[in-house]
Structure 1
């Protein structure tokens, strides 16, 4: 039996102590091989040419050229899966915008448990990044209808995503009009980062976007993003839909969990819902999407070609949870088309 090919990793960080610690810890994993390290981005560019790593770990704050500018220079010519290591949400999101696959939050404390958790998360994300599709340029965005032709009440849209999801979610919701039914979203992300992500989306979308707070109302023109380490569920009273945002144990490996959200939408909204599962590793959301479809919801899965990681939507498709599988850039128009169809049918 041939031995499994190891994932070749290059570490880029200006701290020699941090580089040595990462190298030692990552090398201890039998699936990883640290092929080298670089103290700055200029050194990194040369090491990439010499060593041809499979994945790069990248600090953002470095001398000579910061990690964001480095990514903008690297990705158009030598696209490579990059996992950013940063303590600041703003840096992490700018890195994702520049082409990084994912990010890991630097441990704020130096306790052994914090460092162990950080290393374990980094190893998982390096393995995921090694399977990611990077450097693909999506075709021009189709021009969907800018407005609904029917006024839809009593509906909700639920979206789930993981690796690659920050940009995918923006692509789906950016141009949806204020007449769009309320949207609830789970994107796998730690605390603090989810609030920053919601704020970034709010600046770039027509609809208003906020991080979930317990008992927030789900209303037209409003998007609610699950808070890190809190499950998001849909509920209903005489006034309509609202959300519950509460801490809990991991479900399907995550908190917040897409499965938890989708299961609640299936139960509360039934056929008055659209479920959308986007790029991400693993299976979170697949069973929940199937539950939604069984309860009459219209369900969409992102297709393989447009996913950064075709994991969650692949599992959903394979178990029959997906009504329609679509390229990322076709999803917005399909949402509007479906809503107009059912709205006009109800007239």
Structure 2
């Protein structure tokens, strides 16, 4: 059965091009478009969509208010179509906290070409949203705000984003071999310095919030890949830093991994864990898409397998696709303890399911156990 989609955007050009683009997928049916949420709601009363692609800034009612109403009254999968502006970064983070499942970015100019170049990303975002289990979404209180300083880090970058999406659409599906060699067979010496690696995608923003806010300041060092567009990761990290007792930051090259700190891979970059003596740090690099993502969970996990081995623990969490499955198996084979989030608590069970199928998972656990497992790992 086709996925029924409603497009809500005040730009007639965006509505037209997005409808043309999504309609090319055989499993997607556009049941309507609207210039604002008021018109959208009238149409939706006649036929309710499976997925809504929603702009943020619109007349009469903004997208964030509409999203919060939907999640309170009739939860429906929503993909945010956001401009990369300072205000856009701030409100998009609030939208994710309120239950939106993904972000599609758009420039202020060249929208038609951009959306056409981004066809693969847009279609995949809609499919992931349609597959989501909204019962696992916990809408944040409306008072939650993103720090203004975090929002100020975001800026327009239409040309580079368009290039990224065009690359993703046309690129072959590369493995982590494109970034670093596979781990060797030698066993890693156990040390007192231990680290945690987490990989997640659709549904991961709220899952990470639940985990990090449940932890104290004495957690082991944590490296995180959350699939998210460039620039938004800085706002996301700043938001979590304000909510958590941990230091949470967007990773920069050569950042030290230390207890009480969580480093989030920047959007548009790969993040690798490296070892210097008994200490760990991260390397942030450019490179091709791996498993059609940058940052890639497979790249992070392989680097942890090579640099930390049995001194690490890995968690693969909610998300569509298979990024991270092979890397977690490499961590497992290198002696790391490995976990997958269970199906019942995942918004999308794709990534954990693929890791389990490969045989790289030691245990399958619900989301509410993960914070405790990470904290307990620090004391072993």
TM-score scaled by length of structure 2: 0.81
Q: Deviations over 1:38-70 (max 9, x none)?
A: 222122222222112111111111122211111
Verify: 1:77 aligned to 2:116, yes or no.
no
Partner of 2:167: none
Query: SS of 1:130's equivalent?
Result: helix
Verify: 1:281 aligned to 2:353, yes or no.
no
Partner of 2:89: 89
Q: Deviations over 1:262-320 (max 9, x none)?
A: 01111111111110111100111111111111111111111111111110011111222
Verify: 1:309 aligned to 2:305, yes or no.
no
Give aligned pairs, total.
324
Q: Structure 1 135/50 Cα, relative in aligned 2: closer, same or farther at 3 Å?
A: farther
Q: Distance in 2 between matches of 1:109 and 1:119?
A: 17
Q: Stretches of 4+ moved more than 4 A in 1?
A: none
**Are the aligned partners of 2:220 and 2:378 in contact in 1 as well (CA < 8 Å)?**
no
Partner of 1:218: 257
Q: Deviations over 1:78-109 (max 9, x none)?
A: 11111110112222211111111111111344
Partner of 2:131: 131
Residue 123 of structure 1 deviates from its aligned partner by 1.4
Verify: 1:6 aligned to 2:45, yes or no.
no
Q: Deviations over 1:191-214 (max 9, x none)?
A: 111111111111111110111111
Partner of 1:246: 285
Residue 113 of structure 1 deviates from its aligned partner by 4.6
Structure 1 stretches lacking a partner, 5+ long: 139-151, 343-347
Q: Aligned to 1:65, which of 61, 64, 87?
A: 61
Q: Distance in 2 between matches of 1:155 and 1:251?
A: 26
Structure 2 stretches lacking a partner, 5+ long: 139-190
Query: SS of 1:180's equivalent?
Result: coil
Q: Distance in 2 between matches of 1:7 and 1:237?
A: 49
Partner of 1:266: 305
Q: Distance in 2 between matches of 1:267 and 1:173?
A: 26
**Are the aligned partners of 2:17 and 2:116 in contact in 1 as well (CA < 8 Å)?**
no
Query: SS of 1:271's equivalent?
Result: helix
**Are the aligned partners of 2:225 and 2:265 in contact in 1 as well (CA < 8 Å)?**
yes
Q: Distance in 2 between matches of 1:166 and 1:261?
A: 18
**Are the aligned partners of 2:137 and 2:347 in contact in 1 as well (CA < 8 Å)?**
no
Q: Aligned to 2:223, which of 175, 179, 184?
A: 184
**Are the aligned partners of 1:211 and 1:224 in contact in 2 as well (CA < 8 Å)?**
yes
Q: Structure 1 137/197 Cα, relative in aligned 2: closer, same or farther at 3 Å?
A: closer
Query: SS of 2:4's equivalent?
Result: strand
Partner of 1:110: 110
Residue 153 of structure 1 deviates from its aligned partner by 3.7
Query: SS of 1:129's equivalent?
Result: helix
Q: Deviations over 1:143-162 (max 9, x none)?
A: xxxxxxxxx94100100011
Query: SS of 1:190's equivalent?
Result: coil
Supply the RMSD in Å over aligned alpha carbons: 1.7
Partner of 1:290: 329
Query: SS of 2:257's equivalent?
Result: coil
Greater mean deviation of Cα atoms: 22-31 or 215-224: 22-31
Q: Structure 1 137/53 Cα, relative in aligned 2: closer, same or farther at 3 Å?
A: closer
Partner of 1:98: 98
Q: Distance in 2 between matches of 1:337 and 1:98?
A: 30
**Are the aligned partners of 1:228 and 1:256 in contact in 2 as well (CA < 8 Å)?**
yes
Greater mean deviation of Cα atoms: 114-123 or 32-41: 114-123
